[in-house]
Chain A
Amino acid sequence: MLIGISAISIPIIIHLLNRRKFQRVIWAAMRFLKTSVQQNQRRIHLEDILLLIMRCLLIAIIVLTLARPAIKSSATGILGAKTTSIIILDNSYSMSASDGTSDWFTRGQNVAYEIISNMQPGSSSALFLASDIVRPVIPEPTYDVNLLRKAIKEARVCGRTSDLLPLIKQAVEMLKVRPAIRREIYTITDGQSLAWKNMKEIQNLFAEAKKENIQVSIILVGEPQERNLGINRFSVASGLCPVNQPIRFEVQVNNYGEVEEKDIKVNLSVDDNPPCDEVVIDNIPSGTSKTVSLFAKFYKDGFHSLNSKITGDRLPADDTLSLAIKTVKEVRILLVDGNPGAEAREGQAFFLKNAIQPVPPAEAPQYFLKPTVVYVKDLTNIKFDDFDVVFLLEVSELSDQTINALDYFVNRGGGLVIFPGPLTASRYYNNVLFDKFSLLPAKLGNIKGDYNNRELFFSFQSKDYNHPIVEIWNDPSSGTLSSAKFYAAYDLLVPQNNSNSVANTRIILNYNDGKPAIVEKAKGFGRVVLFSSTANTFWNDLPVRPAFVPLIHRLIGSITTRQFENLTLRVGDTFIYRVDKESLGKDVVIIPPGISTNSPRGLRRVELLNDLPAIQYDETDFSGVYEVLMEGNVHKVIKFAVQFNPIESNLNFLSKPQLDLISQYTYLLHWRQGVSIRDEIQKNRFGIELGMPFALMALLIAITESALAQYFSKTK
């Protein structure tokens, strides 16, 4: 557009052409003319020059007006132009860090207020909350300043980690198609380097924005932090959560800071009560973590929330981590014995029943695990729904009716554990249970080993236990699994090609030769666990090993809590909870953590999920305990906990080269006490739109030029 400035030459050319276009007169009275011209020449010349300058200026200003100029200026008022902006406010939980007086997020909110109040009348803004996903609070630029203020005021720090790439990308894409002269992106973040992990892509976006004349301002409201302790992990260590039994919880504390931390108190509280257990970690060196065990006892069955806290520091968001569990009074277990044997000790049910109930017979009725032993022929009289877990012990075949009942039982959340044996019809298992009903996690292959030759044996893997059921044996103080000797076992053929099966199938434990020993599969809301060897001493000596009881207990715990695994989620995960058929269609209110009574609550409805009624809720951005109230039964509160993403606890600040890179394409501004962000932004604002002033100036010059030309051309 500014090429048009060459149009300034137009008046000059016209002037020169006019000099060539004149009337010729033969004249006698030259002496008077000559004298007059001499007397007036200087004045005429000056008038000519003045008019020429004014005409050139007029053209130049008209061209400039059409070019819609803008300048960098701190001036405000009538000269300022309307702005279309997007305010990106980082609400990852690292923004909850503070310097002791104010936290970064409050600073960010204040900066956002200043940006809004600095806008010219008629400007519009959108508001995005920035974490690792885009949460457009106000997705389209609005002129309603009050709405913006309200949205900023109601914004909260979430439990997510931060990644600015998707946000900046969306903001740039949005502004690119906007026709406004002044387009601005304000990114208010704490300066945590994690948010800039995709620096190269962000840099490209900045370059693109610059090309499109989109002004990007980065306002860093955070400061480098030397120290930060955070809870990394908080989980149930016990296999089961029965009432009146101490339950072990594990808390892992990480030192993200640059200095060693000492005497860190870790406590555990249940249902917002005062802490029930506390331990002190002597020291955690920089960059390392330590795990401690804490215990809690529950006296009522039902949903409970737990909070683990450590000594507070400058980033409080990662000093507390929540957990939700559901405690049970008893677990009913059905043992289906397919081969009772000649003696009671020969049957697998014998060993399992004792492992499940490892207490003297007198105490057995009070024990929370309640095993019931039946034979295959009695299955027709059994309702699987009366049990939580069903064990099939060397059952050769099952009737179709039983299989169907079992399948339904698993789908609705029941646990099925299969121990094979010599009588197990592997072909039937593979054809019916695996292929037809997809109940088995693996096919049964050949029997390896010779149970008659006790000299040759194999054992479980001795380390690298990954599955939660067996992970406690990573700690040598918990004993060992590898001491058990196996003389015979089925080869478990875990499917490799069926993606659905593979996704739902997981190996719990391997043999020392790397072949699977125990495999599990999630089906519906339930779970199926397949062992490769027997639960008696016929094929192995596991049942007489010390690890057998905790292994079975953890297995039962894992299966029964399958339904409750989803009670503790990571931020962003979807909460799914199965409810009974009667609840279908009922409204459900979900109260996120840390909201006031007036704040909006999530409203959902019980709907069918995989043909089963379930509650679904996906707005799990905030770390803490959520409460679910169902229509018609508000006194029964379902609790679930959402845990933050601990990656965000790493508060490494942007390095100097990174800051330099950012400042190459953007206006980088550091929040400082007492410095008005408003002024700083205004200084850099690109800029004042000069269209209107230039148009007025052009008009003024045109009027002046006309008046002068009129005056100059008057007879003198």
Chain B
Amino acid sequence: MQKQLPYELLDPKVINQADKLGICARFIVEGYMAGEHKSPYRGFAIEFAQHREYSPGDDIRHLDWKVLGKTDRYYVKQYEQETNFIAYVLLDGSESMKYGSGQLTKLDYGKIMAACLSYLILLQRDAVALGIFDSSLKHYIPRSDNRSALVNILNQLVNYNPDGKTNIATVLHNMALQIIKKGIVILISDLFDDENKILEGIQHLRFCGNEVIVFHTMDPYELEFPFRGLVEFKGLEQIPKILTRPNEIRKSYLNELQSFINRIREGCEKNQCHYILVNTGQPLNEVLSGYLAFRAKTTTRVSR
């Protein structure tokens, strides 16, 4: 793919469709601005959430007098606070992402996806941070809710060239430690690494209270393995060459791949993460809007 201009990363179709859906945090994130997202911190904000039995030490200002008058019991009102969220977009920039059977490599696709997501997040006045990594975090743009930050993000994405091996787990662990303000961690990667370690990293992020969305980007050829004849596969990331007849091992390959995907998917579900298998052959708008629609349905309160 030819060198892109920063704004070329923003796919108008994606933006158009995704904008309507918005980015809905699946969980109530901790926000520093009263925004469109539920805050996990219950207090005395606008939206009533639930009653809780009074316990000594509670502020008596939150006693529900009406309930006390009717039932002679002490209940405290709890409210939900709408807050803004922080999205940490982590893009896998390892060499394996350089593969692409069509015009777009997985990395190109990931870059566009990251740009679009960043734009959408900034558009709804949420904060976004971008990290590009291979075996470590190579580039990191701190969180910002300023739309001008988009320029930086786009420039970073456009100028990035992959050259290293993947070590996703380390990056995820580091991110879990690094993130102070909980948010949504969006991981865009082919996940060609030890899946157990990746899942440990995700678990770490989840443990720290982050929501994790995994966009598992795979090239259609990787998903279908349509090669015929004798093919020499030259591995990216310094893996030795393999000469074989692909059609004779297709089933075995697809089985291996499927079991890998299944393990990742199951691990994600176990950690209550969204896992989206992204076929880079599909248009991004379909992928993203499909996910956002799904997300909108599954969140507890649909955004406006």
Contacts and interface: CB of A to CB of B under 8 A. Distances in A.
A25 B251 contact: no
A22 B192 contact: no
B64 interface: no
A716 B239 CA distance: 24
Contact of A22 (B96, B243, B252, B256): B243
Contacts of A30: 233, 235-237, 239, 242
Contacts of B192: 28-29, 31
Contact of A23 (B231, B237, B242): B231
A150 interface: no
A24 B234 contact: yes
Nearest to B223: A29
B252 A716 contact: yes
Given A23-B232, A25-B231, A40 B252 contact: yes
B230 A22 contact: yes
A26 B235 CA distance: 6
A211 to B, nearest CB: 50
B99 interface: yes
Contacts of B236: 26-28, 30
Given A24-B232, A27-B234, A34-B242, A715 B251 contact: yes
B253 A22 contact: no
A18 B232 CA distance: 12
B215 to A, nearest CB: 16
A40 B254 CA distance: 13
A24 B106 CA distance: 19
B250 A716 contact: yes
Given A23-B229, A37-B249, A28 B256 contact: no
Nearest to A32: B256
Contacts of A40: 248-249, 252
Contact of A716 (B99, B251, B257): B251
B246 to A, nearest CB: 8
Contacts of A26: 98-99, 233-234, 236
A452 interface: no
B256 to A, nearest CB: 4
A21 B233 contact: no
Interface in A1-46: 18-19, 21-37, 39-40, 44
B80 interface: no
A32 B232 contact: no
B248 A35 contact: no
Given A26-B99, A28-B98, A33-B253, A716 B248 contact: yes
B263 to A, nearest CB: 12
B245 interface: yes
A299 interface: no
B44 to A, nearest CB: 52
Interface string B239-269: 1001111011111110011001000000000
A44 B235 contact: no
A714 B235 CA distance: 25
B190 interface: yes
B249 A716 contact: yes
A239 to B, nearest CB: 108
Given A37-B244, A716-B252, A29 B230 contact: no
Interface in B129-182: none
A713 B239 CA distance: 26
Contacts of B97: 28
Contact of B233 (A33, A39, A713, A716): A33
Nearest to B235: A30
B: contact size bracket: 35 or more
A39 B252 contact: yes
Given A33-B233, A34-B242, A28 B222 contact: yes
B230 A23 contact: yes
B294 interface: no
A712 B247 CA distance: 9
Nearest to A40: B249
Interface in B192-206: 192
B227 interface: yes
Interface string B89-132: 00000011111000000100000000000000000000000000
B234 A44 contact: no
A655 B236 CA distance: 88
Identify which of A19, A25, A36, A37 gathers the most chain B CB atoms within 10 Å of its CB.
A36
Contacts of A37: 242, 244, 249
Interface string B33-58: 00000000000000000000000000
A632 B77 CA distance: 161
Contacts of B252: 35-36, 39-40, 716
A32 B260 contact: yes
A39 B230 CA distance: 17
Identify which of B97, B219, B257 gathers the most chain A CB atoms within 10 Å of its CB.
B257
A505 B6 CA distance: 137
A36 B245 CA distance: 11
A33 B248 contact: no
B234 A32 contact: no
Nearest to B250: A715
Contacts of B99: 26-29
Nearest to B219: A28
A25 B228 CA distance: 12
Nearest to B99: A28
B219 to A, nearest CB: 8
A470 B198 CA distance: 137
B227 A23 contact: yes
A44 B244 contact: yes
B253 A25 contact: no
Contacts of A19: 230, 243
Contacts of A44: 244-245, 248-249
B232 A25 contact: yes
A28 B232 contact: no
Contacts of B237: 28, 30
Contacts of B95: 28
Nearest to B252: A36
Interface in A88-116: none
B230 A18 contact: yes
Contacts of A712: 248
Contact of A35 (B96, B219, B247, B256): B256
B255 to A, nearest CB: 8
Contacts of B242: 30, 33-34, 37
A44 B250 CA distance: 13
B249 A713 contact: no
Identify which of A18, A23, A27, A39 gathers the most chain B CB atoms within 10 Å of its CB.
A27
Contacts of B232: 22-25
Contacts of B257: 29, 32
Contacts of B249: 33, 36-37, 39-40, 44, 716
Contact of A715 (B231, B247, B260): B247
Contacts of A32: 253, 256-257, 260
A170 to B, nearest CB: 64
Contacts of B229: 22-23
B130 to A, nearest CB: 23
B244 A29 contact: no
Nearest to A26: B234
Contacts of A24: 231-232, 234
A29 B236 CA distance: 8
Contacts of B235: 27-28, 30
A92 B237 CA distance: 97
Contacts of B234: 24-27
7 contacts: A23-B227, A25-B233, A26-B233, A28-B222, A29-B96, A33-B249, A39-B252
Given A29-B257, A37-B249, 16 more contacts: A18-B230, A19-B230, A22-B232, A23-B231, A24-B232, A25-B231, A25-B233, A26-B98, A26-B99, A28-B95, A28-B106, A28-B222, A31-B239, A32-B260, A33-B244, A34-B239
Interface of A: 18-19, 21-37, 39-40, 44, 47, 712-716
The 6 A-B residue pairs with the shortest CB-CB distance in the complex, in nearest-first order: A28-B99, A22-B230, A30-B235, A36-B252, A27-B233, A28-B96
